């Protein structure tokens, strides 16, 4: 399927309150057809609550969510048919065989595709062929997770929502499951919640970061790592030894938040990562200061932040904003 810019998932002012606690606070986002989006956030941020609302397992307090034009509140049946869901704890029946279970889900979802053909296809896609006659209870965690993925694929849903799909798996199993998700994502729209940032790098086109129930960042991984890196951090190479250069840099505390010498550098040179004060672009003033202090600048270039660093920055930054918001 072509990746057209057509919104498949549209969320508007979606809110969920548990008593006084606002778990999801008027969030808005869209996901386009064919996209694989990473839904990130620290524990308790509201990821599972959002996913449970999107899949119709939990009703929203207010706001709306549409999947392919169908409202999750007024058309829950259509939405359920369109969405394959892998919850954090897949609802597996341990005393069924894999094949029995997939047939059971087929009936539960009232699928109209040719049964044997469809189930065989899913078993092949999730590489469950060898264990299809085994009791789910006797499978390894990696295989159980594949069965979870297989049940989400029954009915050939347009949208897949996967909550922490690789949690608790060993490294080999993680790679296998990620490869499968990438493959399924070739012709589906996928939202994956995770707190493993490497997973987002490996699978996703775009990230949405949620913190304390609010969306705090939304962008492609390329943009988000560049945007957050450029202004606030840069790599600096000076023709000087580390001690002299450090002493000059430490005097620029009104322009520089922090600096770190990097371990490898050329003879007679020192490389630093410099974080500007309050994330403001003070590079021009820093250059002036270094020149005035007789430090020869050999190179200066923006640093791209890793997704980990972006995540910490965005979450900490939004924590501060939310806290000051409360004070005001």
| Cβ closest to ligand ADP, residue 119 vs residue 161 | 161
User: What CA–CA distance (Å, rounded) separates 172 from 304?
Assistant: 29
> Is 237 a binder of ligand ADP (CB under 6 A)?
no
Size of the site for ligand ADP (CB under 6 A): 11
- Kindly provide the residue ranges of all beta strands, DSSP E only, lying in 2-114, ordered along the sequence: 7-18, 21-32, 36-40, 62-67, 70-71, 83-86
Tokens of 54: 């999107």
| Cβ closest to ligand ADP, residue 26 vs residue 75 | 26
Instruction: Tell me 132's DSSP state.
Output: T
User: What CA–CA distance (Å, rounded) separates 126 from 84?
Assistant: 14
Q: Using CB under 6 A, which residues numbered 29 to 58 contact ligand ADP? A: 41, 43-49
Smallest CA-to-CA distance from 164 within 110, 95, 267, 86 is with 86
Cβ 65 to ligand ADP, closest distance in Å? Answer: 15
Buried-state track 37-74, b at ≥16 Cβ within 10 A, e below 16: bbbbbeeebbbbbbbbbbbbebebeebebbbbebebee
Span interacting with ligand ADP, options 15-23, 172-180, 228-236, 266-274, rule CB under 6 A? 15-23
Cβ 307 to ligand ADP, closest distance in Å? Answer: 17
Tokens of 276: 């500007």
Helix axes 115-125, 141-153, angle to 10 degrees: 140
> Is 215 a binder of ligand ADP (CB under 6 A)?
no
Task: Using alpha carbons, list the distances in angstroms from residue 126 to 44, 115, 132, 145, 179.
Answer: 31, 17, 11, 10, 10
Question: Which position among 4, 5, 20, 21 is part of the footprint of ligand ADP (CB under 6 A)?
Answer: 21
Residue 190 CB neighbour total at 10 angstroms: 24
Cβ 4 to ligand ADP, closest distance in Å? Answer: 30
Tokens of 183: 């493959």
User: Which pairs from 68-74 meet CB under 8 Å and 24+ separation?
Assistant: 68/8, 68/158, 68/159
| Cβ closest to ligand ADP, residue 18 vs residue 296 | 18
Cβ 87 to ligand ADP, closest distance in Å? Answer: 11
Cβ 310 to ligand ADP, closest distance in Å? Answer: 18
| Cβ closest to ligand ADP, residue 27 vs residue 169 | 27
| Cβ closest to ligand ADP, residue 51 vs residue 307 | 51
| Cβ closest to ligand ADP, residue 21 vs residue 263 | 21
Question: Which position among 23, 98, 139, 159 is part of the footprint of ligand ADP (CB under 6 A)?
Answer: 23
Cβ 167 to ligand ADP, closest distance in Å? Answer: 12
| Cβ closest to ligand ADP, residue 131 vs residue 307 | 307
Cβ 25 to ligand ADP, closest distance in Å? Answer: 10
Q: Give the footprint of ligand ADP on this chain (CB under 6 A).
A: 18, 21, 23, 41, 43-49
């Amino acid at each position: 399927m072509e990746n057209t810019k057509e919104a498949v998932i549209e969320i508007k002012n979606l809110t969920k309150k548990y008593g006084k606690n606002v778990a999801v606070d008027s969030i808005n986002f869209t996901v386009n057809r064919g996209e694989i989006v990473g839904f990130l956030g620290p524990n308790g941020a509201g990821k599972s609550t959002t996913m449970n609302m999107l899949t119709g397992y939990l009703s929203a307090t207010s706001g709306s969510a549409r999947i392919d034009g169908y409202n999750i509140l007024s058309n829950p049946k259509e939405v359920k048919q369109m969405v394959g869901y892998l919850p954090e704890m897949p609802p597996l029946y341990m005393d069924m065989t894999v094949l029995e279970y997939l047939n059971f889900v087929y009936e539960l979802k009232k699928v109209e595709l040719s049964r044997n053909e469809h189930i065989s296809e899913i078993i092949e896609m999730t590489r469950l062929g060898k264990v299809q006659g085994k009791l789910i209870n006797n499978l390894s965690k990696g295989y159980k997770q594949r069965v979870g993925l297989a049940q989400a694929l029954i009915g050939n849903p347009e949208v897949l929502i996967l909550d922490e799909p690789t949690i608790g798996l060993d490294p080999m199993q993680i790679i296998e499951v990620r490869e499968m998700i990438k493959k399924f994502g070739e012709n589906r729209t996928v939202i994956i919640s995770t707190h493993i940032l490497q997973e987002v790098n490996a699978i996703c086109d775009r990230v949405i970061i949620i913190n304390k129930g609010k969306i705090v960042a939304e962008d492609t991984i390329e943009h988000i790592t560049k945007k957050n890196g450029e202004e606030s951090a840069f790599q600096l190479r000076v023709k000087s030894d580390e001690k002299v250069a450090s002493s000059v840099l430490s005097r620029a505390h009104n322009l520089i938040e922090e600096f770190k010498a990097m371990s490898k550098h050329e003879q007679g040179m020192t490389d630093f990562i410099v974080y500007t004060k309050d994330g403001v672009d003070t590079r021009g003033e820093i250059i002036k200061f270094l020149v005035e202090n007789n430090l020869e600048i050999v190179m200066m270039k923006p640093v791209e932040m890793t997704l980990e660093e972006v995540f910490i920055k965005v979450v900490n930054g939004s924590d501060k904003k939310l806290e000051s918001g409360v004070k005001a």
